[in-house]
C-alpha cells in the first residue's frame, strides 16, 4: 500500500488547468484547486483529464441532491403519494435520515394514469429511488420511474421476506402468497452504485 496523500480543508492541491479538474471534496479559487475536506487525495483519470478528488476517511456528510439514487423506507401511504425516509445516498449510510415524498405520477414511467399507490408500495418496503429537483425546503421529491428503481426489500403480510417474481409481483418465501409491488430490476453486482 502506498502512503496516502493526506490533506486538510483549505490546502492547495494543484493548479487548475486543462489537464486538472476539480472533483468531489475540492473547490476552485483563483486558478487553483483546494481541498474542502480532511481526507485522502485521489486522482481519477477521466478522458485524459485528471480529476482531483478528496475522499473523506470517516463517514461522509451528505445531503441528497438532484439526481442521486437513494435507499428509502416507505412509511405512510395515501391516494396520491407515499412518504418515506431516506436512509442511504448511493453507498453512504446516513446517520440522520431525511424526508422524501413519492408522488403517484412518479411511480412508473409508463401508464402513469393507472398507477395506484397501494398496488406499488407498502409501509416498511425498502425502495431505490432517484431524487427530483428540490421545490420544497424540507422534503425531497423522489421518483421510481425507471426499471432499476422500485422495491428491493419487502415483507409479506405475514411478515416474511418476499422475492420478486415479475415487474409487478413479489411472492412470500414462507406462505407463497403473491403481492403487488413496483419491483426494481436488481442490477447484479453492487446495486447501489451511483449511475
Partner 1 sequence: MAKQFKSLHPTKFYRDYLNQDIRPDGRLVSKFRPVIINIGSIATADGSALVRIGKTTVICGIKAELCPPKPEKPNEGFLICNVELPPLCSSKFRPGPPSDLAQITTRFVADLILNSGCINLKDLCIVKEKLVWCLYADIICLDHDGCIIDACLLVLLTALKTVRLPVVQYDAAIDKKTIDASVKKCLNIYNTPVSTTYAMFEDKIITDPTTEEEEISSGLLTVVVKDKELCSIHKPGGSPLSEEKLYECINETVNHADLLITLINTAVSECNDDNKNC
Partner 2 sequence: MLQEIHIRLAETRDNTPLAINQRVPKIFTPGEIISEQQEFMRGHGTYEEDIYLKASVAGIKEQVNKLISIRPLKSRYNGEIGDVVVGRITEVQQKRWKVDTNSRLDSLLLLSSVNLPGGELRRRSAEDEHMMRQYLQEGDLISAEVQNVFSDGSLSLHTRSFKYGKLSQGVMLKVFPSLIKRSKTHFHDLPIGASVILGNNGFVWISPTMVNQEDNVGGFTQNLEEVVPRGTRETIGRLRNCILALAQSNVMLFDTSILYAYEESLKYNVAELLLPEAMVDVAILTQHKLNLSEYS
Partner 3 sequence: MPTDNKRIAGPEDSISYRLFKETSNESVLSKINNLKNNIRSDGRKTNEQRKIFLKCGVVSQAKGSAYFEVDNTKLIVSVYDPREIPKKTDYSLKGELFCIFKYAPFSCPNRRGHQQDAEEKQHSAIMKRALESAVCRHEFPNFQVDVYVLVLENDGSALSGAITAAGIALAQAGIPMYDTITSATLAIQGSTKLLDPTLEEEALCTIATHKSDTETGYDSHGIIVLAILSTHEQISEFYQLGNLNLDTLNESISILMNATKEIVPLVEKCLVDYVNKTFKANGQS
Cell 415479475 sits on residue: 166
Q: Is 60 a binder of partner 3 (CB under 8 A)?
A: yes
Question: Each residue of 142-176: b (16+ CB within 10 Å) or e?
Answer: bbbbbeebbbbebbbeeeeebebeeebebbbeeee
By CB under 8 A, the count of residues binding partner 3 is 32
- Write out the residues near partner 1 by the rule CB under 8 A: 71, 73, 87-88, 91, 93-96, 126, 153, 192
By CB under 8 A, what part of segment 47-106 binds partner 2?
66
Q: Which of partner 3, partner 2, partner 1, none has residue 133 at its interface (CB below 5 to 8 Å by kind)?
A: partner 2
* Pairing relationship of beta strands 6-7 and 12-15 according to DSSP bridges: unpaired
Q: Which of partner 1, partner 2, partner 3, none has residue 153 at its interface (CB below 5 to 8 Å by kind)?
A: partner 1
Looking at beta carbons only, is 4 or 67 nearer to partner 2?
67
The phi and psi torsions of 104 (rounded to 5 degrees) equal: -55, -40
Q: Which of partner 1, partner 3, partner 2, none has residue 73 at its interface (CB below 5 to 8 Å by kind)?
A: partner 1
Looking at beta carbons only, is 24 or 73 nearer to partner 3?
24
The arrangement of strands across the sheet holding 162-164 comes to: 162-164, 169-172, 178-180
Q: Is 110 a binder of partner 2 (CB under 8 A)?
A: no
Closest contact distance (angstroms) between CB of 149 and partner 3 is: 24
How far are the Cα atoms of 125, 148, 164, 182, 193 from residue 187, in angstroms, in the given order? 18, 7, 13, 15, 10
The arrangement of strands across the sheet holding 6-7 comes to: 6-7, 39-46, 49-56, 20-22
Looking at beta carbons only, is 94 or 117 nearer to partner 1?
94
Cell 474542502 sits on residue: 36
Residues 118-157: x/- map of binding to partner 2 (CB under 8 A)?
A: --------------xx-x----------------------
Q: Is 191 a binder of partner 3 (CB under 8 A)?
A: no
**Contact residues: partner 2, CB under 8 A:** 66, 132-133, 135
Amino acid at each position: 500500500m502506498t502512503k496516502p496523500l493526506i490533506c486538510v480543508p483549505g490546502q492547495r492541491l494543484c493548479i487548475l488547468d486543462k489537464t486538472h479538474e476539480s472533483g468531489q471534496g475540492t473547490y476552485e479559487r483563483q486558478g487553483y484547486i483546494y481541498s474542502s475536506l480532511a481526507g485522502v487525495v485521489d486522482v481519477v483519470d477521466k478522458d485524459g483529464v485528471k480529476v482531483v478528488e478528496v475522499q473523506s476517511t470517516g463517514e461522509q456528510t451528505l445531503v441528497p441532491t438532484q439526481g442521486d439514487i437513494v435507499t428509502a423506507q416507505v412509511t405512510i401511504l395515501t391516494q396520491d403519494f407515499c412518504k418515506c425516509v431516506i436512509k442511504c445516498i448511493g453507498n453512504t449510510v446516513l446517520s440522520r435520515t431525511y424526508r422524501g415524498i413519492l408522488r403517484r405520477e412518479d411511480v412508473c414511467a409508463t401508464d402513469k394514469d393507472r398507477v395506484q399507490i397501494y398496488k406499488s408500495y407498502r409501509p416498511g418496503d425498502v425502495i431505490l429511488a432517484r431524487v427530483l429537483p428540490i421545490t420544497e425546503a424540507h422534503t425531497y421529491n423522489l421518483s421510481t420511474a425507471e426499471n432499476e428503481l422500485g422495491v428491493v426489500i419487502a415483507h409479506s403480510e405475514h411478515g416474511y421476506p418476499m422475492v420478486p417474481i415479475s415487474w409487478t409481483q413479489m411472492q412470500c418465501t414462507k406462505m407463497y402468497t403473491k403481492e403487488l409491488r413496483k419491483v426494481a430490476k436488481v442490477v447484479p453486482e453492487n446495486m447501489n452504485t451511483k449511475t
